[in-house]
Structure 1
Amino acid sequence: MHLKRIYIKIVFCLIGLACLECTEPFTAVTETFEDVLVVEATITDELKTQEIRLSRTYRLEESGGLNFESGANIVLNGSDGSIHNFEHTESGIYHSVNPFQAVQNVVYNLSITDSSGKKYITSEESLPPSVDIDNVYTELITREGTTGVQVFVDSEETPEDANYFRYEYEEAYKIVALYYNSNDVVLENWKEEGTSMFCFEDLEFVPRPEEQKTCYVERNSKDIIVTSINGLSESKISQFPVRFISAQDYVLRDRYSILVKQFVQSANANNFYKILKELGDDGSLFIENQPGFVRGNIFSEENENEKVIGFFDVSSMSSKRIFFDYQEFDINRPKYLYDCEVDALNYAATGPPISVDDERNILFRRLSSGNYKFHGQDECTVFVVPLQCGDCSSFASSNKPSYWED
Structure 2
Amino acid sequence: MIDLLKRMITRRPVTLLLTLILAGCIEPIEPELGVFDYLMVVEGHVSNLDEVNTVRLSRTKPLGVEYGGVEVGALVYVEDQEGAKFYFEESSPGVYQSDPACFVGETGNSYALHIETLYGEIYQSKPILLNTAPAIDSLYFERERRLTNEGITKDGIKILLDSHDPEGLTQYFRYEWEETYQIKVPYPQDISVWVCYNTETNSDILTANTSQLKESRVSQLEIKYVSTEGYQLRSLYRLLVRQYALSSSGIKYWTELKKISESQGTLFDPLPYDLPSNLFNPNNPDEQVIGFFDVGAVTEKEIYIDRSQLLELDFASDGCSSKLVEVSGGGSPPAGYCLASQGPYGSGINYYAPEYCCDCRLYGELDEPEFWPN
TM-score range, shorter chain: 0.7 to 0.9
| CA 1:142–1:127: 2 relative to 1, 3 Å | same
Deviations 1:32-89 (A, max 9, x none): 461233221111111222222223335666899x943332221111112321111122
Q: Does 1:394 align with 2:362?
A: yes
Q: Distance in 1 between matches of 2:319 and 2:232?
A: 8
Structure 2 residue 341 is matched with structure 1 residue 376: yes
Tell whether the 8 Å contact from 1:152 to 1:243 is kept in structure 2 after alignment.
yes
**In 2, Cα distance between the equivalents of 1:61 and 1:337?**
45
Letter in 2 for 1:46: L
Contact 2:193–2:361 at 8 Å: present in 1 too?
yes
Q: State the one-letter code of the partner of 1:228.
A: N
Q: 1:306 to 1:47 in 2, by over 3 A?
A: same
Residue in 2 aligned with 1:41?
44
Is 87-96 or 118-127 further displaced after alignment?
87-96
**What TM-score comes out, normalization by structure 2 length?**
0.82
8 Å Cα contact 1:6-1:279 kept in structure 2: no
Runs (5+) with no aligned partner, structure 1: 22-29, 183-209, 349-358
TM-score computed with the length of structure 1 as normaliser: 0.76
Q: Answer yes or no: is 1:8 the counterpart of 2:7.
A: yes
Paired letter, 1:18: L
The equivalences for 1:10-29 within 5 A come to 10-13=9-12, 15-18=13-16
- Over the residues paired in the alignment, what is the CA RMSD in angstroms? 3.1
For residue 68 of structure 1, give the secondary structure of its aligned residue in structure 2: coil
1:75 to 74, 77, 98: 77
Q: Indicate how the Cα distance of structure 1 residues 277 and 375 shifts in structure 2: closer, same or farther if over 3 A, else same.
A: same
Residues 339, 229 of structure 1: CA spacing in aligned structure 2 closer, same or farther, 3 A cutoff? Answer: farther
| Kept after mapping to 2: 8 A contact 1:340/1:385 | no
What displacement does 1:338 show?
8.5
| Aligned 1:209-228 pairs, distance under 5 A | 210-228=191-209
Q: CA deviation at 1:115?
A: 4.2
Larger displacement relative to structure 2 (259-268 or 333-342): 333-342
Map of 1:288 onto structure 2: 268
Specify which structure has the bigger relative contact order, considering alpha-carbon pairs within 8 angstroms and separated by 6 or more residues. 1
In structure 1, what is the equivalent of residue 221 of structure 2?
A: 240
* Percent identity between the two aligned chains: 25
CA distance in 2, matches of 1:104, 1:80: 14
CA distance in 1, matches of 2:144, 2:217: 23
Aligned to 1:333: 315
Q: CA deviation at 1:16?
A: 4.9
- Cα displacement (A) at 1:118: 2.6
Q: 1:134-191 deviations in whole A, cap 9, x for unaligned?
A: 1111111345676431111111434233111111111111111232133xxxxxxxxx
2:108 aligns with one of 101, 105, 110: 105
Aligned residues: 350
Match of residue 143, structure 2, among 140, 144, 148:
140
Structure 1 residues 86, 140: closer, same or farther in 2, change over 3 A? Answer: same
Q: What is aligned with 1:273?
A: 254
The secondary structure found in structure 1 opposite 2:4 is: helix
Q: In the alignment, does 2:293 pair up with 1:342?
A: no
Contiguous gaps of at least 5 residues in structure 2: 20-30, 148-152
Deviations 1:358-403 (A, max 9, x none): x53x65xx3xxxx443323433344333333211123411111111
- Counterpart Cα distance in 2 of 1:285 and 1:252: 35
Where does residue 312 of structure 1 map in the other structure? 293
Contact 1:19-1:288 within 8 A present in 2 as well: no
In structure 2, what is the Cα distance between the partners aligned to 1:320 and 1:130?
Answer: 13
2:260, 2:357 → 1: CA distance?
Answer: 39
Inter-partner Cα distance in structure 2 for 1:339 and 1:67? 48
Q: How much does 1:19 deviate?
A: 7.5
User: SS at the partner of 1:252?
Assistant: coil
In structure 2, how many angstroms separate the alpha carbons of the residues matched to 1:114 and 1:97? Answer: 21
Q: Distance in 1 between matches of 2:10 and 2:276?
A: 12
* Cα distance in 1, alignment partners of residues 188 and 58 from structure 2: 42
SS in structure 1 at match of 2:239: strand
Single out whichever of 262-271 and 3-12 deviates more from structure 2. 3-12
Q: In the aligned structure 2, how far is the partner of 1:19 from the partner of 1:391?
A: 49
Q: What are the superposed Cα offsets for residues 236-276 of structure 1, whole Å, 9 maximum, x if unpaired?
A: 22222111223434322222110010111100000000001
Amino acid paired to 2:57? L
1:98 CA drift (Å): 4.0
Which residue of the partner structure matches residue 353 of structure 2?
385
* 335 and 264 in structure 1: CA distance in 2 versus 1, 3 angstrom threshold: farther
Matches within 5 A, 1:143-154: 147-154=155-162
* CA distance, structure 1, for counterparts of residue 64 and residue 232 of structure 2: 34
The residue type equivalent to 1:404 in the other structure is W
Name the structure 2 match of 1:261.
Answer: 242
